[in-house]
Amino acid sequence: MDAVEMIQNRRSIRKYRNEKVDRQTMQEIIDIARWAPSWANFQIARYTLVDDEAVIAKLATDGVKGFVYNVKTLENAKGVAVLSFVKGKSGKLDLEKDEYATSKANVWEVFDAGIACQTFCLAAHTKGVGTCIFGVIDEQSISEIVGLPEEETVAALIVYGYPDEQPPATKRKDTADIMRFV
């Protein structure tokens, strides 16, 4: 799969085959995802991979604020990656100090998580594993369900599994509408 094809053909997958992705494959996906760039190469992203059906069911009832669309997706999911990040690092030039280097302050940590998120989804896509990013989530509840370390916070859920659907390409704005030269 070339890079253009990989970027253009990835779709959010919300229906999965009744088959777990084995842990070796997930490890290979993280092995690729860890090459995502990050602020000062701090590599703050962490992946907690949930493949236990009872825990996935708990995420469906308590982790997505009852958002029916996400509950339904989780009901047929075979795996969920809790994407978290270590707080208080990205955005700083000196980790000993409390001050951030730019007006975006600690927003860079979410930015890092976003890059990590897409890198994970593309890596999964190359292995035939479909993904769907969830932003409608209850961070506190998810932290408790998976027992996240105190120093981390949840960025997003990424549901994953072997696709049982082939969604058509989603619409994109025209190139001319999103770019400008100066």
Ligand X SMILES: Cc1cc2nc3c(=O)[nH]c(=O)nc-3n(C[C@H](O)[C@H](O)[C@H](O)COP(=O)(O)O)c2cc1C
Binding site for ligand X (CB under 6 A): 11-12, 14, 69-70, 73, 132-136, 167, 170
The nearer residue to ligand X, 29 or 117, going by C-beta atoms, is 117
Residue with tokens 């047929």: 76
Residue nearest to ligand X (CB): 135
Please report how close the Cβ of residue 61 comes to ligand X at its closest, in angstroms. 16
Q: How far is CA 158 from the centre of its chain?
A: 4
> Measuring CA to CA, which residue among 29, 126, 127 is closest to residue 81?
29
CB of 169 to ligand X, least distance (A): 7
Measured from the CB atom, the residue of 150 and 168 that comes closer to ligand X is 168
- Using the minimum distance from each CB to ligand X, give the nearer residue, 92 or 146: 146
CB 151 within 8 A of CB 67: no
Q: What DSSP string runs through 29-72?
A: HHHHHTT---GGG---EEEEEE--HHHHHHHHHHSSTT-HHHHH
Q: How far is the CB of 132 from ligand X (least distance, A)?
A: 5
* Contact indicator for 101, 93 with CB cutoff of 8 Å: yes
CB of 53 to ligand X, least distance (A): 20
Measured from the CB atom, the residue of 70 and 119 that comes closer to ligand X is 70
